[in-house]
Amino acid sequence: MEARSQYKRGLWTVEEDQILMDYIRVHGKGRWNRVAKLTGLKRCGKSCRLRWINYLSPSVKKGDFTEEEDDLIIRLHKLLGNRWSLIAGRVPGRTDNQVKNHWNTHLSKKLGITKRQQKFVVSSPTVPENDKEEADETNTHSNNANIELPGYDSNGGVIVNDYSSQSVVAEFSNTPNDCLVGSSWFSNDYLSLGYPSLMDLTDMFPIEFLWDGL
DNA sequence: AAAATAACCAACCGCCGACAC
DNA sequence: CGTGTCGGCGGTTGGTTATTT
């Protein structure tokens, strides 16, 4: 058991960075809890790992996000929701922390998205009244309650299979109407209003499958 | 110039799943 | 099967910097 007080917290110094980089040069990545033991660095394994991944790794791109990166992140977030590691995996040189911070401080404001709207509720079979209203506005020409898609239930929830045991019915907040996914399977009707965003489709399909639609 | 407020972002926290024993 | 360790994730905090009053 690690005594929390034995480890230093807060911002990393240049000296600490150097120690960590030296360790990784010799021992490679991983086994983060050994760093403190082998180097005397007073940082816990988690802190070391995070420092490497988010800052020290040569693959990390520093500096401002470009318009292209912004656009990519926006599209990916529409597709994946708050799955920052998945999004970051598609934005070369950016970490999940960078993407998350950039979204929360810049892009969500730019798009006028509140935190509440970013979240979705799992296992709730009901649609919030506000969302229902918005859904109706955006989809007056169809009665979506009668539409059933593979993986969806008739209440507008999506049945998310984890391929092992249970299924859960997930409920989603609205997504913006302009669907950027090419496949007709993901037409606007299914993306707006009470219908789930594409977020949990990643639980049903490989990311590569969804990625082709971007 | 100083205080108050907002914005930014690095780092921490709690939780979870995989794995070894 | 239970337990401990490790790595990974998303949400949140808090320190620093920039801007406003």
Protein-covered nucleotides of chain B (CB closer than 7 Å) are 7-14
What DSSP string describes A80-107? HSS-HHHHHTTSTT--HHHHHHHIIIII
Comparing A31 with A114, which gets the higher pLDDT?
Answer: A31
**Does the model's pTM come out above 0.85?**
no
Cβ pair A124, A158 in contact under 8 A: no
Collapse the DSSP code of A10 into the 3-class scheme (helix H, G, I; strand E, B; otherwise coil) and give the result. Answer: coil
Q: How far is the CA of A166 from the C1' of C4 (A)?
A: 27
Between these two residues, A159 and A91, which has the higher pLDDT value?
A91
Q: Which residues make Cβ contacts (< 8 Å) with residue A150, sequence separation at least 6?
A: none
Encoded amino acid at A109, one letter = K
The encoded tokens of residue A62 equal 């520093």
Q: Is the pLDDT of residue A154 over 50?
A: no
Spanning CA of A146 to C1' of C8, the rounded length in angstroms is: 39
Contacts of residues A53-60 at CB distance under 8 Å and 24 or more positions apart, as own/partner, are A53/A95, A53/A97, A54/A95, A54/A97, A54/A98, A55/A12, A55/A17, A56/A17, A56/A20, A56/A21, A56/A24, A59/A93, A60/A93, A60/A94, A60/A95, A60/A98
The dihedral through the CA atoms of A95, A98, A103, A104 has a sign that is positive
Please name the helix (run of DSSP H) or strand (run of DSSP E) that holds residue A188, with its range, or none.
helix A188-191
pLDDT of residue A201: 53
Task: Return chain A residues 82..101 having CB < 7 Å to nucleic acid strand B.
Answer: 97-98, 100-101
The Cα–Cα gap between A210 and A54 comes to 26
SS (H, E, C) A42-65: CCCHHHHHHHHHHHHCCCCCCCCC
CATH 1.10.10.60 positions along chain A are: 1-58, 62-114
- Name the architecture of domain A62-114: Orthogonal Bundle (1.10)
The spacing between the Cα labelled CA in A115 and the C1' in C21, in angstroms, equals 29
Could you say which of 3.30.750.24, 3.40.640.10, 1.10.10.60, 1.10.10.10 is the CATH number of the domain covering A1-58?
Answer: 1.10.10.60
CB of A121 lies under 7 Å from some atom of strand C: no
Is the pLDDT score of A196 beyond 70? no
Taking the CA of residue A98 and the C1' sugar atom of nucleotide B15, their distance in angstroms comes to 21
Chain C footprint bases within 7 A of protein beta carbons = 5-12, 15-16
- CA A107 to C1' C12 (Å) is 18
Q: How far, in Å, is the CA of A169 from the C1' of nucleotide B13?
A: 28
**Mean pLDDT computed over A125-130:** 38
- 3-state DSSP call for residue A120? coil
What does the pLDDT average to over A135-141? 35
Judged by average pLDDT, the poorest of A1-10, A14-23, A96-105, A126-135 is A126-135
Which residue would you say has higher pLDDT here, A202 or A107? A107
Task: Find the residue closest to B7 using CA and C1' atoms.
Answer: A105
